[in-house]
A and B are shown apart, each in its own frame.
Chain A
């Protein structure tokens, strides 16, 4: 597969849809670095601070009435951390780097880059609950509650930073239900899509 041109794969995902597994596998197959929560680790290393202080605000939604913006400064830690992550991604993209980014409004933040391919992963409710329950060792009821709360947070977080609605198919190049093909099948499908797309471009 030709890799001269910049390739950025931005993956949005529902909680429990296996987005992380898909992104990881894509990153392996394409031999590209993957950015997710490790962005914060990289920034913390650069600034010589403890990443633990930031972790709970990663992809954290902002509820407007209790936060204010003044001349580009916000008192919302989630907003500050999100902006640092967006800046990090923009800098990587500006340098011409190719990578896979999971979440962090990648499809919005990097929309100006020609090499961007945006994907949204969804899944059937039962399969999401099953995956969450197995992964986090929860009862089905607890997994359902966890899924609902996490997806609400992701939706608010995304919509805070984007004019486009989270999960709206019009905003992505591909929307895939990972329950239909499973993780490997979904990755195969994406690879096939990328192959065709990049060959067409070439």
Chain B
């Protein structure tokens, strides 16, 4: 690249979907179907991107013929489960209801498109539920889901732009009118003019240090999920809720893989004693719920010297073993299975050690039942507004519908009026590409991860959080003027890291404001869980460059 000059390409569309995961593709398909011109900008390849990139096997949904006619009762039962309760803490009840009402239609749609949603001719529910409780998650064969959704989007004339990372929204005083990004391979800036924008960029998986020290790619979740949507939404002035709430999954220690509920076994200590009270032998219908009640227990076992905990499938019937292996493939764990074969690990004989994974902050984009954010023309769906596969698919669809309807009436955006903002961002990336010396993205990312872990990690207090905040802010300033990208791949990582720095700062600010201990938000200086904060969310938005916090009831 000469003189830091990236060429600029302008693309005009009605609806822009940022992120081509399950939510983004579902939004694109629906908007395309309703006649909108749709572009999906995906920084990887939609065939294998996002948390659903290699498959999934459980889909939260409400099927009246299975769950009974009373949806309210079903919803109440669902939220009794600790996983759904925590995951949906930043979601309004009207959004949850709208999702559940829609979910069975989406299940049937997927089935008709070639994503098998039935198992042996029936709706098969298992996992994520306590013994005797309502079963919430449909088992489905998601191995090829991303291929099916990508093909469906193309049938609807959606333009899929792989290898394009959007990193900022463009807006006027009324609302969003487009976005700016880079090509991740070619020396190019992409400016997209859009009447409506749908965010579907997923979780924030790379903010805290992963299982294997110094090995960034060992993160649980997806390595390139860096909260791009939340970060750009925040910078554009929309509301996020709950960035201080941490979540931690469990799964095979070091070989980090989600899908703990797919395992048919019992979590046992090294002497063979079950560590939780829920199951004493492998049960394919109700797996071991212990990690969903307290995932950090596994880490506590190690720290206290009780030793490792194992997922122990010994005693499983042949039929149930086949069942588990079948679903592990669909959950996207074929590499894990290959590895076990190669090592001679047989789950019928060998218990596999499980561990607690890194923290993932919630911090969702606040949406209403139409998937609208607090900025006009801006919608969000998927893990960044409402976690999980069922919600991503259903709310993607709803967001696509809302955005296409809005785009029909919206005036043609005048993107050239944002020329100053475009130039400012071109300079930012141009400088990173032309600097000769300085830290690369990895240095910056690791520096950030260690501050997050040590100052806003398992233990948080006012003094820790204040110190950590000042360190992150100093790091951010330093990185902004020194970070170096040798090529577009590194530039992509740099922009991701800048997003992580913004989101890390928000974690500190919001965690300090939550003056209580709740779940994994552990404040020794405020050890009680404050009943006054029950049912409330901490909303944060940027006003004139400063974060503004507000507690509001989530109804």
Partners in one complex: no
Contacts from B to A (Cβ < 8 Å): none
